[in-house]
Amino acid sequence: MDVLTGLLAILVGFTTMAALENRGRRLDRRITRLEQKIDLLLKQGNVPDHDLVPKEVAALARAGEDISAIKKYREATGAGLLEAKETVDRLKG
């Protein structure tokens, strides 16, 4: 009986884990769609990137302090490394 209970607990655990993974994937897709919509709205509203970036980050980027700018941008926004680098590169250009 103890073995059966253990197997049942493992089965329930795997089922729960699979359901959470599926929900995570759905949330990731939803967030991606929302980000795309926001980007489109900002583009249509002619809102430049530098209006959305903290002033300290923009100043660091203009001063050529890319690494510091990327670090500050990530701290301020929670963005990933690639997104932060792309944003800093746009600010310089």
Would you state the pLDDT for residue 72? 94
Number of domains in the chain: 2
pTM of the entire predicted model: 0.52
| Geometric angle at alpha carbon 55, from 89 and 61, rounded to 5° | 25
Domain containing 13: what range?
Answer: 1-46
Higher-pLDDT residue of 52, 79: 79
One domain, residues 40 and 69: no
Check pLDDT > 80 for residue 47.
no
Domain end marker among 31, 46, 61: 46
One domain, residues 35 and 17: yes
One domain, residues 37 and 3: yes
One domain, residues 31 and 55: no
Q: Provide the 10 A C-beta neighbour count for residue 16.
A: 10
Q: What does the alpha-carbon distance between residue 79 and residue 90 come to, in Å, rounded to a whole number?
A: 15
Q: What does the alpha-carbon distance between residue 10 and residue 34 come to, in Å, rounded to a whole number?
A: 36
One domain, residues 39 and 75: no
Question: Given pLDDT bands bounded at 50, 70 and 90, which one contains residue 75?
Answer: very high
Q: What is the mean pLDDT of residues 39-67?
A: 84
| Geometric angle at alpha carbon 23, from 22 and 28, rounded to 5° | 100
Domain end marker among 30, 46, 62: 46
One domain, residues 42 and 57: no
Higher-pLDDT residue of 8, 1: 8
One domain, residues 38 and 55: no
